[in-house]
Amino acid sequence: MDKTDKIPTELAVIDNFDAEELDIYARLTENQLLNRANPEEALFIAESPKVIMRALDAGCIPVSILVEDKHIDGEGAPVLARCKDVPVYTAPFDVLTQITGFKLTRGMLCAMRRPKDRTPDEICAGKRRVAVIDNVVNPTNVGAIIRSAAALNMDAVLLTEGSSNPLYRRAIRVSMGTVFQIPWAYIHKDDYIDELHRLGYKTVAMALTPNSVSIDDEQLAKEEKLAVILGTEGDGLAQNNIENSDYTVMIPMTHGVDSLNVAAASAVAFWQLGK
């Protein structure tokens, strides 16, 4: 293949950080990208060739690409080969480094259309193990939990409306693109425990309470369908959700440690309960 065959025809060189083409990458907030007023126009930003390829594999539609000039024929080439008709903007390193976090992207950003929201019924059909993220507001934690869910035997992820969006830029980056590999949806009912029961799941509230059972309890392993619920970083799960769950489960710890970060706890929980 000739070298020029890899380069999109719509290639624009940018030499100014204030260029209009960079607005979507450098100046729009997450809420502006989310565009609740016009959901069909909503966007997200994927970072790095690996993550962008995972988004493309999941059927996400690219709108434009921003790539460091040296990556056009390097790590970014496979992405560009799949996006022949997509506008591509390129610039040298000193321009792109003015964009917050660009050094972490391995030279490439891609603006993409947000996929249509899915429902709990759609993503939970036929699934044995589901992770539930309850009001986790930090996108780093949401991304890390989803990465653990994808890696450690969870079949789907549900989030309450108070949780950070999995398609926020930082969440996507921390998840390493697994937000495109494991199905997820928002669960909109206030009393979501009843909704999980309707879907056929026994519910497992991860909480430190006097009646908590150990995560390696034999009865848990016998359950055909489990929904593993993880609470917000500070306060944990609401008391009513703990009381209404079928199980309250704790991770045994040593050296007087009483709790783990929610993302770390999720990895332990998914490994044990996903068996």
Rg of the chain on CA atoms, in Å:
21
Handedness of CA 126, 200, 164, 270 (dihedral sign): negative
Q: What pLDDT, in 10s, does the model give residues 1-44?
A: 444 445 555 688 887 778 888 889 888 999 999 998 898 899 99
**60-70 pLDDT, tens digit each:** 999 999 998 88
- Give the pTM: 0.90
pLDDT value at residue 235: 80
Distance separating alpha carbons of residues 188 and 220, to the nearest angstrom:
26
Whether the CA torsion 75, 171, 15, 13 is positive or negative: it is positive
Vertex 157: Cα angle to 225 and 120 (nearest 5):
75
The CA distance from 216 to 219, in Å, is 9
Give pLDDT, residue 230: 97
For residues 8 and 220, what is the distance between their CA atoms, to the nearest angstrom? 53
pLDDT value, residue 220: 94
